[in-house]
Amino acid sequence: FNTSPSSSCVQVSQYACQRRTPLQDINQIFTDAFEILAENCEFLGNKELCKSFLRASAVLKSLRFPIATMKDLDGLPLLGNEMKTIIEEILEDGKCARVLDVINGERYKSFKLFTSIFGVGLKTSEKWFRMGFRTLEEIKNNPEFKFTKMQKYGFLHYEDITSYISKSEALEIYDFVRDIILKLVPDAVVTLTGGFRRGKERGHDVDIIITCPRKEKEKSILHNTITILKNQGLILFYDINESTFVETKLPSKKVDALDHFQKCFIIFKLVKEGVGATNIKDNEMESKNWKAVRVDFVITPYKQYAYALLGWTGSRQFERDLRRYATNEKKMMLDNHGLFDKTKNVFLDAYTEEDIFEHLGLEYLEPWDRNA
Ligand code: CTP
Ligand code: MN
Ligand code: MN
Ligand code: MN
């Protein structure tokens, strides 16, 4: 079949939930640029422009052809003059001055560094930046600082946590955890979600979602699982957030609102079999035979599971567009807990992701086509 732009007569939707976005991004030279600019806007608190860059990037990610000339942009949504200027510059020079300015800028570099620490967000980064700090050493060695427990462990395992997790490492942890949970609750449903469910080969954490079809039986799973993992010495850090979910509450209007399910943010000790032994024999410095890996657990009631799974599978931009589509095109409210039809004034039940797409009048998209 023909993949040239001129042959595609089908209109590209402005919503990622109406486009297929596989992992392979043939317009990465442009989408990388837009994502750096978006991130810089986020660091500056410019939410609107951040959104525009991310939407433009997502449109390009869904294309089956590489942008080769400005003509290729004809008919594409969400690519205004500001976006086109950037694309044009990259087409001509292979780079964009505005992007280079950003990545060489003090603010962007500092925020990138600070937010890479587990437990440090925009607020803390802003504070440290204003105080004049620019490196991790300056912060780590400052006796004046009071760090949260999360940040302390973030510093302690910084190297491991900021290095990538492979799919095989993610699957190893997932299989291990699922076995423990199924011994506790044989009919529990344990699913690897997040980027790995979308087919990514590497990620920055392992997201695992857990439920049980028997009512309330999911409630004991998290604490019992953590106890077992702790007893095996496999938990370096954990932080449990108890559920604040209320079934009657309407879905959130904010596209980036966090959900209220019980969850746990973990630094897991992944022990690598056979590593370390040879070095000791050779009388070299003893190497560490384990790696600190970020793992997220989220536990949901069975009734909300499909919505939570859809929400935690991502990508973030895909989720934003799903919610925007529900609100603007369907007069419905969607979040990780459910879908509310404002016309009929009812919550719509769903037990699979397919059910949710159907409620929204959308063609079903597999997780690997949600890489917006
Ligand atoms: N998410 C969420 N609530 C949170 C954290 C995450 O709903 N408290 C959702 C996000 O919308 C995201 C998905 O869970 O789409 C996965 O989040 P995250 O692990 O941050 O990103 P990944 O896509 O898995 O990519 P990475 O490899 O960076 O982890
Ligand atoms: Mn993830
Ligand atoms: Mn992430
Ligand atoms: Mn996560």
Mean pLDDT computed over 153-166 = 98
Choose the residue to mutate in 42, 173, 207 for probing ligand 1, maximizing ligand atoms within 8 Å of C-beta. 207
Summarised one tens digit per residue, pLDDT across range 193-219 is 999 999 999 999 999 999 999 999 999
Choose the residue to mutate in 316, 323, 324 for probing ligand 1, maximizing ligand atoms within 8 Å of C-beta. 316
Asked if 5-102 and 157-372 have one fold, the answer is no
Mean pLDDT computed over 165-192 = 98
Active site residue 205: yes
**How deeply is 346 buried, as exposed, middle or buried, from its count of CB atoms within 10 A (0-12, 13-18, 19+)?**
exposed
pLDDT at 268 over 80: yes
Radius of gyration for the chain, computed over Cα atoms and rounded to the nearest angstrom: 22
Nearest CA residue ID for atom 9, ligand 1: 312
Average pLDDT, the chain: 95
- 16, 94, 335 from 320: Cα distances, Å: 9, 30, 10
CATH class of 157-372: alpha beta
Domain 107-156 annotated CATH 3.40.50.920: no
Asked if 242 contacts 262 with a C-beta cutoff of 8 angstroms, the reply is yes
> Please, which pLDDT band fits residue 6 given cuts at 50, 70 and 90?
low
Mean pLDDT computed over 246-257 = 94
| 296 in a labelled binding site | yes
Q: How many CB atoms lie within 10 A of CB 352?
A: 13
Could you state, in order of their start, the residue ranges of all structural domains in the chain? 5-102, 107-156, 157-372
H/E run at residue 317: helix 316-330
Mean pLDDT computed over 170-180 = 98
> Please, which pLDDT band fits residue 1 given cuts at 50, 70 and 90?
very low
Summarised one tens digit per residue, pLDDT across range 28-56 is 999 999 999 999 999 999 999 999 999 99
Summarised one tens digit per residue, pLDDT across range 288-346 is 999 999 999 999 999 999 999 999 999 999 999 999 999 999 999 999 999 999 999 99
Ligand 1 atom at minimal distance to the Cα of residue 198: 23
Give the pLDDT score at 353: 99
Per the confidence metrics, is the pTM higher than 0.80? yes
| 355 in a labelled binding site | no
pLDDT at 174 over 90: yes
Asked if 210 contacts 243 with a C-beta cutoff of 8 angstroms, the reply is no
pLDDT at 286 over 90: no
Mean pLDDT computed over 111-137 = 97
Nearest CA residue ID for atom 16, ligand 1: 194
CATH superfamily of 5-102: DNA polymerase beta, N-terminal domain-like (1.10.150.110)
Give the pLDDT score at 143: 87
Please state, for a pLDDT cut of 90, what percent of the chain lies above it.
91
Pocket lined around ligand 1, Cβ cut-off 6 Å: 194-195, 203-205, 207, 258-259, 311-312, 314-316, 319, 336
